[in-house]
A and B are shown apart, each in its own frame.
Chain A
Amino acid sequence: MAEEGIKDAGATFFDVKRLNRWFLVSAAAMTVAYAWSVVQDHDREFKSYQWRFFELEREQAEAQGKAAFSAAGGATVVGDGAKTPGGMRDEIERLKGMLAADHAERPELATRLHDAEFVYATTNASMKLAKAIFEAERFVYEEKAHHLGEHDLSAPQGDEAKTAFAKYQILKGEYDGLDEADKQAEADRNIARNELGRFDALGNDVATRLEVTEREVARLEKRADSLDDERVFTQFRNSLLFNFMAPTVAPRKFVVKEILDDLNFLSVPKVDMCSSCHLATDRFKDYPAGNAHVTFGEEGNEPRFEDDSPAFRSHSKPELYCTSMSPHGQDRFGCSGCHGGGNQRLAFATSFHTPTNKDEREVWEDERHWHPVHEWEYPMLGSKYLDASCYKCHTQEVHIPGAEKWNRGRDLVAKLGCFGCHKMAPFDGFRRVGPPLGHVAAKFADLDFMLKWVDNPQSFRPTTRMPAFFHRENRATEPGRDQAEITALVTFLYNLTTPQALKSYPGNGDADRGKKLFGEHGGVGCLACHSIDDFPAGESKVDKLDALRHGPELSGVGSKVKPDWLFTWLLDPKSLWPETNMPNLRLTESEAADLVAYLMTKRNVAFEQSVFEKPADDKIYEEILVEKLKERMTGARAAQEVRNMSGFEKRRKSGEFLLDHYGCFGCHEIPGYEDSKPIGTELNGWGSKHPDRLDFGMVEMDWKAEGYFNREAWLTQKLTNTRFYDRNKDKKPFEKLKMPQFAQLAEGAPDADREAVMDFVFSLVKDNTISSIRRHLTPDEESVERGRRLVREKNCIGCHLLYGEGGEIRNFQLGEEGAAYYPPLLDGQGARTQHDWLDRFLNDPVMGKGRGAPAMLRPWMKARMPTFGFTQEQRNDIVAYFAHEKVWHTSTERGLWDSIAGKFKRDFPAYDDSTMRKANHSKIELFHDLVARTYQRQGGSFIYETDFPQMSKPAPLSDADRDHAREMFVRLQCVLCHMPGGVVPKGKTAADMAPDLSYARERLAPRWVAHWLETPDTYQRGTRMPGFWKPEAGVRPTNDPNGLNDPDLEMALLRDYLFTEEFATEYREIAKRAGG
């Protein structure tokens, strides 16, 4: 039956023809599916960028060829220039022609030189012969004359002598003639030689130009060739199925050995494939900057052609990252080490690009299929927060040059004291930011003040850095609770307080005098750190005042403190708070009394009149106590314990619980809480914390849906409104969020400040760099960094301008004479003064003269250099800081520096003159650093470079030299400005005065004085010190035709004179004479 079935076509169950048709269809489907998959695999996003980039490169090469041709002096561009860029071949021909013509001309010149050489050689030989004979004969004559006793050799007496003399004279005449001829022949020879030399130089020049041009043509040709995607071979080797051999279109990568990717169980070197699409990052000479998508498409950064993209733009800071001289070369640092992002992804949507703002995000979503992704814990940092990556390697620095936002963030965190509650590595071991609270009863005017202050610090002082703990939104449902908590806290603190020995204010201060002392012409110095409403800052002076001034605003201080306390504090702040940053201004008791009298008139009346309502009964304290006690006992027992407490004890005990809860000891030193641990979340590593670990509260789902489920959104909201994530949450009072609100970061505060703080927090990441790539400081450099920190912490720059930074007191030194009272600049301080002197000066600026003493060098000054009470270590650090602070690299070789800086400015438009004029300190610093790298490598040195830790001193002068120097000193009328003791002579104002030179010997650095005398305004722009030895000065300091006329020697003499032992005495005499 089966056999029958096989024979019979109809016996198959399925119709074979139909099966064949199905087979055809399914095989076709399979083929199509397979082909589709191959094409899909071949057609990758990055390839389209690369093909387009090749095209751009070709266009670029052509354009460059044309430009090079016209630059080389060619006439016209011939041909289409497609293969041979420009018409440079013509130029080559022209140059070759020139060379050939030259070659035709050269033999004639060579013959001339040859002939002249011959004439010279023969003349020279006969001259030398004649000279030898003549000199021999001269000796014969001399000897004969000696024997004969002749005395006048020019007029011989004896015959024998006469004969010898005549013979000798003839030979001399012969020699003279020949010598003349020889000189002529030599001159002729030289002319001929020079002519040939000039001719050859010209020829060489042409030859060099030819060689350069030929090389350039070859290079451009090669480049155009290699990029020529129309060539069949390129097409072939990049084509489907054949591109496994040697494709030119392929992923590109940097392997970054020193920065790792954390794969949880394994750390592997980063493989950054970003450059597969971002092809022009290091080509800053050929492609405009604008890789940062932030500005792409904005005015001034418009797309150059239809499909322009950030992928075809160069890095916006190539000098830092993309050149061979860059401190962070691309090949070593890669991309994602700083930028973050999915470094091994090759598609826009999945490589974790982060949009800068909402608008950009929408465009990306619409046009680029961008969507928030979760598969990688290190998304690209938004362009606003790129600075944060600097800290990965620059962990030991206080300020990172160029990382402006981070620097600002660090300053803000340091000033606001975030580290009081949140442990973070850069601030380990820092002093608490707030004043100690161990003696509040002695300090504050009354208990009421403290209640109202804690209630709302800003109502007393709008600029205060004390954050607001109370009246926050998550407490709205508990009326009276805030008042009760404040009362309890204050009760507890008052109960902790211990008496403090205070000097008593004599009560005889004069408020007017005090006011003058405080602020007239800038005052004794209070205004460098504090502000007060009587002395508004001048508008157009140094800078606008920082919102976070160093010291508190004092307009209402009379309502706050007791006069005795203030009196003691002004006389010696450290006696009340050893760690305070407030320095000792060495006020006399009467000055202090005047200031107290003045400050006590400064009252905040509205604040005094406001009323703090204490809770009427103990109900809320009981609730607080029961809630806390129930954590460790039953409710009944807790209630029992609370019942046994007195009303005061209830407040005090609640206060103790609340103090633990709010962690007041994070910022204030409180007796018994010295070693308490900070209460907030540790922020080390926060920058890598996954958003899943953050409490988004009830907004989580909404934000996830909208794609704002990230660290940035969370932190912005947290800083703007610290209690936000409690919304719609029902919690017990002690469970609620308790972070206080800083007004400086709240809604309405500058976004830039909030972003700066965020930038800083983002920089605290899980470390994934290898030690070798990080910046390590030497012990010297560490000392410098500590010094830098001190200079900022102690607010030296409140008075002194330091490389254009600070100098806030200048805002108050108004009026015509204002400039006279400007505290001195600190630029190059370390090079200017001797280190020992600076150390002694920092220790005691009046060197033992005590309270009320005028300044030593500039006695006319109103502001006083305070006594900070630095330790020896601190002074060492500050001295080291000034000695090594080379940021304002003022070069000794101006020409070399200028040429490097000029090239730098040409290469990197970000540093051109117009931009740099508006630049801030940090950018200028960076610019100088970068130029200095090349400058130093080429052997340049700096005038602010100083010997450290020792300085050499000049040798003593001889009497004659000293006389000469003294004469110079008198003639230059130095004493007119440099008066000893700072006496202001008639007809002069304080503004004309210059430092007392009596201390020069022990104070000034000899090396610096030499430079200073030569070009004072290089050191200090706008100085009144004239540059006597400048060529354009006209007047010579000495006009003695017999004496010295060498400026260098003169300056050295004058300088050394200042360092002689006798100078001090002579100086006073000279001054007396000049003054009389």
Chain B
Amino acid sequence: MKDFFNALADPSRFFLIFTVAVLAMLRWREFFTAPKVALTIFAGAVIFFVWALKDPGFKANISKPDNIPIIFMLFLVGYFSWLSLYRAVKNDRRIDRGELPEEAVESPKKVLVWPDLVYSEFICMLIGTAILVIWAILLKAPLEEPANPNKTPNPSKAPWYFLGLQEMLVYFDPWLAGVILPGLIVNGLMAIPYVDTNPKGNGYYTFKERPFAITSFFFGFVVLWVSMIILMTFLRGPNQAFFGPFEQWNLHKVEPTVNIQFSQIFWQQWLGTSRPINWLMREMPGILLVLGYLAVTPIVLAKTVCKKMVTQMGNPRFLTMMIMFLIMVAMPIKMVLRWTCNLQFIVNIQELALNI
């Protein structure tokens, strides 16, 4: 049984299962959000935890004070995903029947700042602070040893909320994973109000009215962010090697990793010749591929499947959105390539220290 879970936790399988699960949840949301089904899933998760906690290694990993917030997060993400979809399903049915969404019926159009907003916020703040204080008392966070550059902790991990970013470092060059992509995430989030001018779904839950936006969100947040945090926290051990949840974190575990560049695949495997000495020539296929992905795909999509979207949004908005979206999708693409072909970089210009 434990071996089975260990096998499932292999990163490619883990990622695949997670993606499929999220997409399935969206597709068959009516089934999954039914309280009985959701409760069964919740109970299953709890049973799994209780059973897994009997394993000392798993328990040690889970109950590390640093990892507690991630456990909370897991259940919170699950709960809120369910809540939003559950209410979206309800509202979709009402809209189909020509009724107003629940939220519109429930609350009047305006509420008072005092007491409805400020007072309730204040109460929430008090409760939140109390919880944090008690948490700090119960789970101590003492100072550790002075930092020693000769002896870094193994594994060295970022704070939990950055673990997704750290996981990207496995697939991208540091200048991308550490500088460009985080910058794009922040900028992309800031751009959303300007890109997404569709008023539907404001103030109420719905899925049918915003399928693309919500699917993208679930994919970007739950799959690419949360699942990476889980992966990084619980499944990566010493030397950043992968370990199943019930596997011992043995320092000496060796991972069979080799690095293959796209230029090697193109020139050596496909064309059966050695790579050109000139780096521009050597990397040209990769450069073209990347440019093609970012420049040609939006145009092709605009002419074919997304015609309606282009007319709704207008060209500039569509292009901005599409490039952001493509960069997001590049992440899983690169991961899959890494797992399946050991592909390290698509463009690998050591001469300029530029890798993509």
Contact = CB atoms under 8 A, between A and B. Distances in A.
Contacts of A752: none
Interface residues of A, number: 36
Contacts of B148: 264, 377
B137 interface: yes
A264 B147 contact: yes
Contacts of A6: 112
Nearest to A347: B142
Contact of B127 (A2, A29, A692, A705): A29
B59 to A, nearest CB: 12
Nearest to B127: A26
Contacts of A377: 145, 148, 151
Given A14-B120, A34-B133, A27 B126 contact: yes
Contact of B144 (A5, A375, A693): A375
Given A23-B123, A26-B123, A27-B126, A376 B112 contact: no
B127 A13 contact: no
A5 to B, nearest CB: 7
Given A37-B137, A264-B148, A375-B145, A26 B111 contact: no
Given A6-B112, A264-B146, A33 B130 contact: yes
A948 interface: no
A700 B250 contact: yes
Interface string A336-362: 000000000000001000000000000
A22 interface: yes
Contact of B112 (A5, A265, A350): A5
B154 to A, nearest CB: 7
A27 B119 CA distance: 12
Interface in A1-52: 2, 5-6, 11-14, 16, 19, 22-23, 26-27, 29-30, 32-34, 36-37, 40
B130 A13 contact: no
Contact of A2 (B110, B145, B248, B249): B110
A690 interface: yes
Interface string B106-144: 011011100110011011001101110110110000111
Query: Is chain B's binding surface mostly helix, strand, loop or mixed?
Result: loop
B142 A37 contact: no
Contacts of A40: 137
A547 interface: no
B349 to A, nearest CB: 33
B36 interface: no
B142 A13 contact: no
Interface in A692-721: 692-693, 698, 700-701, 705
A376 B133 contact: no
B130 A14 contact: no
Contacts of B147: 264-265
Given A30-B129, A264-B147, A692-B151, A13 B134 contact: no
Given A2-B110, A375-B144, A701-B249, A36 B134 contact: yes
Contacts of B142: 350, 375
B127 A16 contact: no
B23 to A, nearest CB: 37
Contacts of B116: 12-14
A263 interface: yes
Given A33-B130, A34-B133, A19 B249 contact: no
B223 to A, nearest CB: 32
Contacts of A32: 130
B237 to A, nearest CB: 11
Contacts of A36: 133-134, 137
Contacts of B134: 33, 36
A264 B149 contact: yes
Given A264-B149, A692-B151, A29 B250 contact: no
Interface string B229-255: 000000000000000000011111000
Nearest to A32: B130
A22 B126 CA distance: 10
A13 B250 contact: no
**Which of A2, A6, A29 lies at the interface centre, i.e. has the most chain B CB atoms within 10 A of its CB?**
A29
B145 A12 contact: no
B133 A23 contact: no
**Which of A26, A27, A37 lies at the interface centre, i.e. has the most chain B CB atoms within 10 A of its CB?**
A26
A149 B175 CA distance: 139
12 contacts: A14-B115, A14-B116, A16-B119, A19-B119, A19-B120, A19-B123, A23-B123, A30-B126, A30-B129, A33-B137, A377-B145, A698-B252
Given A19-B115, A19-B119, A32-B130, 20 more contacts: A5-B112, A11-B112, A16-B119, A19-B120, A23-B119, A26-B123, A27-B126, A29-B130, A30-B126, A30-B127, A33-B133, A36-B134, A36-B137, A37-B137, A263-B146, A264-B148, A265-B147, A693-B151, A701-B248, A701-B251
What 9 A-B pairs are tightest by C-beta distance, nearest first? A26-B126, A263-B146, A33-B133, A13-B111, A375-B145, A33-B130, A29-B130, A13-B116, A375-B144
